[in-house]
Amino acid sequence: MSVNPDFRARTIVLHGPESTGKSVLAERLAQRYAGVWVPEFGRTYCEIHGTDCSAQDLLNIAAGQNAAVDKACAATKGLVFSDTDALLTEVWSLMMLGESCFKDAPPRASGALYLLTDIDAPFIDDGLRVYGDDDSRTRFFALSKAALDQYGVDYVHLKGGWEEREDAAHAAIKAYFPAMTRQAGGRLAD
């Protein structure tokens, strides 16, 4: 259930609690850098099966997200922006079940660079969101950051207003992928 390592080198993963702007930012970044946005598989899964997830549901979500990232990477030579991955699915498992759903083997990072979104964004309940109270959001963020630290991935912490987050994301991407961002999709990526 792991992402192809060759694909991982071109993948940027949005990581953090729900309702912190990951989806909007991932889509905007993909457009700006003529990349591919991989939406959150778990959202579609939960629309069908509900948000009361078992360990097996969470494993299915992680496998579905990894498959979608692999497919996107196979379809482009550019950057891929994934709206979550197995590391965040493990955080969901810790929040929902109190333990990791990955019993046989730990989850594998699917991105070269992670963008950690802070909880200083206003929470918007869209009917699928679960952890809207301040204590849960604080715990979710702490677990999200701890996962990135535990697995030793490169990440940038995005906080502040939407413009600040987007500017910090652009700076991180340009620094991390200089050759790929100088000319994205035949146009200058500034």
Report residue 39 as tokens. Answer: 């939406």
Q: How much is the pLDDT for 150?
A: 95
Q: How much is the pLDDT for 129?
A: 63
Tokens 């069908």 identify what position?
Answer: 48
pLDDT(189) > 80 = no
pTM (whole model) above 0.85:
yes
Q: Report the percentage of the chain scoring pLDDT > 70.
A: 86
pLDDT(159) > 90 = yes
The continuous run of DSSP H or E covering 113 comes out as: strand 113-117
CB 22 within 8 A of CB 111: no
pLDDT per residue over 164-176, tens digit each? 999 999 999 999 9
The phi, psi pair for 187, rounded to 5°, reads -125, 150
Q: How much is the pLDDT for 182?
A: 64
Return the domain boundaries, the chain. Answer: 5-188
Return contacts of 175-184, CB within 8 angstroms, 24+ apart: 176/112, 176/113, 177/10, 177/79, 177/112, 177/113, 180/10, 180/33, 180/78, 180/79, 181/33, 181/79, 184/32, 184/33, 184/34, 184/35, 184/78, 184/79
pLDDT per residue over 28-76, tens digit each? 999 999 999 999 998 889 888 888 899 999 999 999 999 999 999 999 9
CB 144 within 8 A of CB 17: yes
Q: What's the angle, vertex CA 132, arms to CA 54 and CA 119, rounded to 5?
A: 110
Question: Counting beta carbons within 10 angstroms of the beta carbon of residue 69, is it exposed (0 to 12), middle (13 to 18) or buried (19 or more)?
Answer: buried
CATH class label, 5-188: alpha beta
pLDDT-derived band at 91 (thresholds 50, 70, 90) equals: very high
